[in-house]
Structure 1
Amino acid sequence: MSPPTSPHPSASPHHPNTSRARSLRSASVEASPRSPQQIFNEIVDQIPQIKEFTELIYEDIDPDDGSLLCLSLVEDKRIERRCVRVNFNAHTRVLRIKVMPTRLHDVHQRWATAAMATWALNGLLNQDEVDLLCGSVGSTFTGFAGNYRGSSKEPDYSFCPNSSAFPSLVIEAGWAESFPHLRNDKDLWMDGCPSVELVLLIRWTKISGNRVKGMLEVWRRNGAGGLSVTEMPIFPRPVPQPASELVQFIKGQLFGPMVIAGQDPSTVLSLDVARLRVMAEEVMTMRMGLTPA
């Protein structure tokens, strides 16, 4: 494992600051490796100094070291107090630490929670199903398969039946600069965990005039062993307005083998992108000094 470079903060308060650990090699001398303990110490030293949304990214991490680092970081009280999400992708060998996500990064939490309430109010979920279904932020998932063995993931939001080891629906969000990492997150979920049915990726892009564009990608299994993707614009508002802006799935996908006896697994549930748009605009204009594109 090669030593991290010094952090290089971004100039924009609304974009991620990033520190990277890259392989440092010359034609004749290879950089001295660093221990997981040294990397751990660097991370916990940096985090208390961070005052805005920041991503700390370390590349070319040995999978065994990455697993050890994640375990140590998620158990550290200093990390827990700082709204930190710890992620390690054993296939790409990238350790990614998200610190202090913005309100815009987290607006989908309100969106998904409100949708679950709507399902219950409309009689699509009964009380037993509401009790069974866990909507969570930053829960730690391990035990991925194949090339992703040794990975650790704390998703931005997930729906997971309480007794299941993995979620059925995952939401990940980020600025455009970090979107390649979110695409890798999608691969981790879909290739490393067969019980995940849908992954929603939300890409926010800041453009001139403090305006923000937004795009939702909906990734799902296509029944032929592959994946399909649907892009749904958030901002700018689509013109003309689509006939439907619903991300639809069935109860059987959400609950998997945990569908409660007597309930119809083909019942259609949905997340309404129009509601996400309203919530995101409120956060941007009232809390962040931004406007929709």
Structure 2
Amino acid sequence: LDTDDPRYEHHVTEALWVTWGLNRVDTDLLKRVLNAKDFRARAAAVQVLRYAGHQIPEQADLLMAAAKDENPRVRLDALVAASWLDEKMGVPIIEAAGQLPMDDWMQKPYEAALAHLKGYNMGQDESGKTKTDLEGVAKKLFVAGEEIYNREGYCVTCHQPDGKGLSASQFPPLAGQEWVTGSKERLIKLALKGLMGPLELDDKSYPGQVPMTPFGGMLNDEEIASVLTFVRNTFGNKADPILPEKVKEVRESIKDKEGFYSPAELLEEHPM
């Protein structure tokens, strides 16, 4: 090959792919491409490391070097490849990739890769609990609320683990919604009595033909306060906690209310 050819590194990368395709990765060729000037070639070599690492005794060391690459595309491929390793080998590589500035394309894969190897879900800490800045009583409510939210057949079934709902099934999102972070009274009322009727969120119409379950007869005041505190402080939301005393007060005030609330009815009582 002509080293002066502008596409020289591209051709060398293709040669590496040929050895990969033959299931006999050329280690010397791999190392050459991992050190190419063109970041695209380096990233391509990292992908070979990912899928054919069982043939490369130095896989972890080479991935560690790639995780410290100046180019975020190369580091992204390195951390994704490391997520296929065991925790002891993979976590240091992923953490190394996170030491340099991360763009929007890297942040979520970085969080997901760490969570995967450490055995917890994204958005949770290493104990398996969702992270929160709440303290004291509010934190206790939040922790209890997370368990309630995730019970089968409760909130998570419709609103999903990420709080984004299922728009195709008419289940609206909770993330970033004033219905959740705004009026406490409005939120408590719809949790106790349920909700049915047309709703507009984020320029999308929800016919409201599938009603929200009224939880007033299923959960006590502390449980309602807990799950509402949770949804007001997760999925990117941040709002004051709701205390059991407030739920008790609202429950008493609407004890004679029959049937579901409609969005229009609640907005008339508690305008945004």
Which protein is bigger by CA-based radius of gyration?
2
Q: TM-score, normalising length from structure 2?
A: 0.31
User: Which structure has the highest helix share of the two?
Assistant: 2
Q: TM-score, normalising length from structure 1?
A: 0.29
